[in-house]
Structure 1
Amino acid sequence: MTTLPDRPHTALLVIDVQNGVVADAHDRDRVIANINVLLERARAQDVPVVWVQHADEQLVRGSERWQYVPELVQREGEPLVHKSYGDSFEGTDLEALLAERGVGRVVVTGASTDACIRSTLHGAFVRGYDVTLVADAHTTDDLSAYGAPPPAQVIAHTNLYWKWQSAPGRSAGTVETADVVFAPSPVG
């Protein structure tokens, strides 16, 4: 269970599924469809949904590339966190939003696996959260031209190592979309 006192709730994080981030991402459409399934399930169970949106010199705030993909629709009342670092907690109000909602466990989806997803997983975990990565609801671009493994391998490796993450008083785990449970019980 989370090391954060009085935080029994779970939130769904939707990270950086922006036009410029996922335009050429691996398995883009399936990942977005899975995120939509999770959005429907979270909303039906009154689970907080928190959107995260990155801005930098390639994703200029207000530009088409910066916008969320049209397939995912933020509902009124669902907070949007603006960030400029990989870790969604750095320099943002994400921690305050989660604290207000009594959230001690986050379910992580979005892009990019080897950057903002990985940074946010670790950022949440070291801050005391239980952290579940949805194995089939995150993606990345093919950066093999720069020496990275192909995207399917990056995703598989991230899913593998996150499945075995552990620390005192916290849980981590990796589950498929179909197996996501928004209850506060630990996974792994």
Structure 2
Amino acid sequence: MLTIANVRRAAQSLKAEGNDVSHARLASRLHLDLAEVRRFVSGINGLEKELDIIVADYSFRGLVYMHAADKLRQRGERVTIAALAKELGIGREGVQNALRRNPERARLLGIVSQGSINLEIRERMYADVIHNLFRRRKPISAAEIARQTSFDKGSIHKDLEKMPGLKDFLKKC
């Protein structure tokens, strides 16, 4: 039976589990038809707002992706394809295909690629090595960084091309 109390309890249990409250999840929790739940909730003035129901229609996938990206940022996580796929409950290929069809959406979502995350990690590592060499008053060069980090010199040069701050610092030394 569909009552306001039942809908409120279902919404509270969804929130307690850490899920967003949507018409589809409410219908699933209440074991009722989606159209019936949607009609009931929208028919009662202010109930959608009270229950904080996500009304992003899945025909507007961009809104769904934006909401998932915002949730990731609020939790302090990076917005990556893998994280979006996990948040949305779909495969990585689905997210990649959606972003391939709408490349501007990836820019709007602020998606960080795994390559840029790895580059950021290497940049911090290079900066730490350079700082230690500078502190010990040793000569700073790509060869010395390669010895300290066990990376080859060629990959360090490629990385430094992508890191203008460190590249400029190396030129000064």
TM-score band (shorter)? Answer: under 0.3
| Greater C-alpha radius of gyration | 2
Q: Which has the higher strand share?
A: 1
Q: Which has the higher helix share?
A: 2
The normalised TM-score by structure 1 is 0.23
Larger RCO: Structure 1 or Structure 2 (Cα < 8 Å, ≥ 6 residues apart)? 1
